[in-house]
Amino acid sequence: MRVVLTQLAATAHLNLMVPLGWALKAAGHEVVVAGQPDIMPAVERTGLTGVAVGEEARYAERIAALPPEGTIYGSGYDITETRPEVLTYEYVRDCLAAFASPLALDINTDATVFDDLVAFCRVWRPDLVIWDSMTFTGPVAAAASGAAHVRTTIGRDHWGRLRELFLRLRADRPEAAGEDPVRDWLTAKLEKYGCAYDDDLVLGQTTIDWMPSWLRIPAQYDYLPVRYVAYNGPGDVPGWALSPEPGRPRVCVTLGLSFNEVWEGRAELGYADLFDAVADLDVEVVALLGGATVPDGITVPGNIRIPGYVPLDPLLKSCSAIVHHAGTGTTLTALLNGVPQLIVPHALHDERQVADAVDAYGAGVHLPPEKLSADTLRAALQRILSDSAFAERADRARQEMRETPTPHALVRDLEAHVARHQEAARLAGAA
């Protein structure tokens, strides 16, 4: 079968998709990764075939130019909100409306991306479109070309949670029966291509979920659990990365791919706190700070190595702990390697909730940004390194992930899904 993978034009989102693309290719299927031109160099490095659609995303430039009220972060709505007293029908309805608007989803993919992906799919005729949950060009292009389509999570599925809650709350309000801001937003996209709205365009015909069971948000919707497979991009693994210095624990520090790519180096964890926290500890710190430079006037302690880019997955195999921001790829790669985590969450999505969950599971410590200092960072790191319970719980999380079906096994489910979709379309055409 022919498969299109499409996702937000950010490397972290692409990397979640890559192992599934490889699994589909290895099973004999044709795979194309469709994305905006500025993600194509990263696509080429995956070894998969890419096709550019729409104009460049230029996320960092565009987000930096917008005033707070011009983005979802200044809207007053939070899709990760969980407090029952806040989640009234009106709040949930208006929160979904704020996301399905130029404040959020329309920033991700503009009209040129919809036009080009629809045009490509109508020519190439894919059997299946797999789209990440922030990229609605996928289901629209699937509807326009008759393909089956499957959504993937990019973290914990708050969009699905709020959608379910909205429908449940609306069912108790007969006067609100006709209200649906997401339907209205999608209908406007679909009508341009002569397509009708269908409820499965909001959450996919099914959803692939990379999250382990204890990190997943409970929902009634149909999910396909799959083992997260770490892909951090190509790169050489230097010899020193294979093992730590004897008797000296190694600690990895990373702020994630999007730290520089999308958010221009803005993060909760700063150089000064990090360097002051570890300078007098008997540890080796490997700081994967990407292309960022150390600010003038700050001295790098002798026990800190700043090597530039090193693939995270092989490096973590030699680490006793990781300090990070709670990004999906980083969190799951740490869990996959059984490495205890010290999380200083970035305020982007539900990083605080992820940090709370890892802390509650016992696989790490959540250090809230408002409590961050060199002293609190040092104390939390010493706690993780000295208490073997963290490593034991992290290893338990690793074992659970290894028991989850692999992308290779998922391919059979996707083949069956496409066969059902095609049979339903045939019967509908014959009726």
Same structural domain, 130 and 254: no
Q: What is the pLDDT of residues 396-425, one digit of tens each?
A: 999 999 999 999 999 999 999 999 999 999
Same structural domain, 423 and 368: no
pLDDT above 60 (res 164)? yes
322: left (phi over 0), alpha (psi -120 to 50) or beta: beta
Residue 124, pLDDT score: 98
Same structural domain, 146 and 198: yes
Rounded to the nearest integer, the mean pLDDT of the chain is 92
How would you write 251-290 as a 3-class SS string? EEEECCCHHHHCCCCCCCCCHHHHHHHHCCCCCEEEEECC
Same structural domain, 93 and 52: yes
CA atoms within 13 A on the CB side of 267: 29
Same structural domain, 319 and 358: yes
Which range, of 47-51, 88-92, 124-128, 220-224, averages the lowest pLDDT? Answer: 220-224
Token readout for 215 is 């990190």
Q: What is the pLDDT of residues 95-112, one digit of tens each?
A: 999 999 988 898 889 999
| Residue at 71 is within a domain | yes
> Which one-letter DSSP state was computed for residue 127?
S
Residue 430 pLDDT level (bands cut at 50, 70, 90) = confident
Q: Which residue has the higher pLDDT, 359 or 59?
A: 359
**Cβ partners under 8 Å of residue 128, min gap 6:** 1, 2, 3, 4, 147, 148, 149, 150, 414, 417, 418
pLDDT above 50 (res 93)? yes
In terms of average pLDDT, the best of 66-80, 234-248, 390-404 is: 390-404
Residue 25, pLDDT score: 98
Residue 281, pLDDT score: 95
Greatest pairwise CA separation for the chain in angstroms = 76
Q: What is the CATH number of the domain that holds 379?
A: 3.40.50.2000
Phi, psi of 335 (to 5 degrees): -65, -40
| Residue at 183 is within a domain | yes
Token readout for 431 is 């009726």
Same structural domain, 222 and 345: no
Is residue 45 within 8 Å of residue 62, measured between CB atoms? no
Sign of the Cα torsion 370, 361, 335, 3 reads negative
Span 371-390, average pLDDT: 96
Residue 259, pLDDT score: 53
| Residue at 234 is within a domain | no
Token readout for 329 is 């790829």
Report the distance separating Cα 365 and Cα 367, nearest Å: 6
Span 20-37, average pLDDT: 98
Structure-derived torsion over alpha carbons of residues 422, 53, 262, 341, reported in degrees to the nearest 10: 30
| Residue at 200 is within a domain | yes
Q: What is the pLDDT of residues 254-287, one digit of tens each?
A: 987 555 554 444 556 778 888 999 999 999 999 9
Other beta carbons within 10 angstroms of residue 111's beta carbon come to: 13
Span 315-340, average pLDDT: 96
Residue 116, pLDDT score: 98
| Residue at 423 is within a domain | yes
| Residue at 120 is within a domain | yes
Same structural domain, 295 and 368: yes
| Residue at 346 is within a domain | yes
Q: Which domain holds residue 108?
A: 2-227+405-430
pLDDT above 60 (res 84)? yes
Report the distance separating Cα 32 and Cα 229, nearest Å: 19
**Count of residues making up the chain:** 431
Q: For a pLDDT cut of 70, what percent of the chain falls above it?
A: 96
Q: For a pLDDT cut of 90, what percent of the chain falls above it?
A: 80
Structure-derived torsion over alpha carbons of residues 300, 324, 19, 404, reported in degrees to the nearest 10: 140
| Residue at 232 is within a domain | no
Phi, psi of 89 (to 5 degrees): -55, -45
Q: Which residue has the higher pLDDT, 74 or 196?
A: 196
Q: Which residue has the higher pLDDT, 220 or 53?
A: 53
Kindly report the pTM of this predicted structure. Answer: 0.94
Same structural domain, 161 and 263: no
Same structural domain, 247 and 364: yes
Residue 63, pLDDT score: 75
Residue 260, pLDDT score: 53
**Cβ partners under 8 Å of residue 151, min gap 6:** 130, 131, 132, 133, 138, 139, 203, 204, 206, 207, 208
Query: 3-state DSSP: the chain helix, strand, coil percent, rounded to 5?
Result: 50, 10, 40
Residue 262, pLDDT score: 46
Residue 220 pLDDT level (bands cut at 50, 70, 90) = confident
Same structural domain, 221 and 272: no
Same structural domain, 253 and 369: yes
> Which one-letter DSSP state was computed for residue 184?
H
Same structural domain, 16 and 132: yes
Number of domains present in the structure of the chain: 2
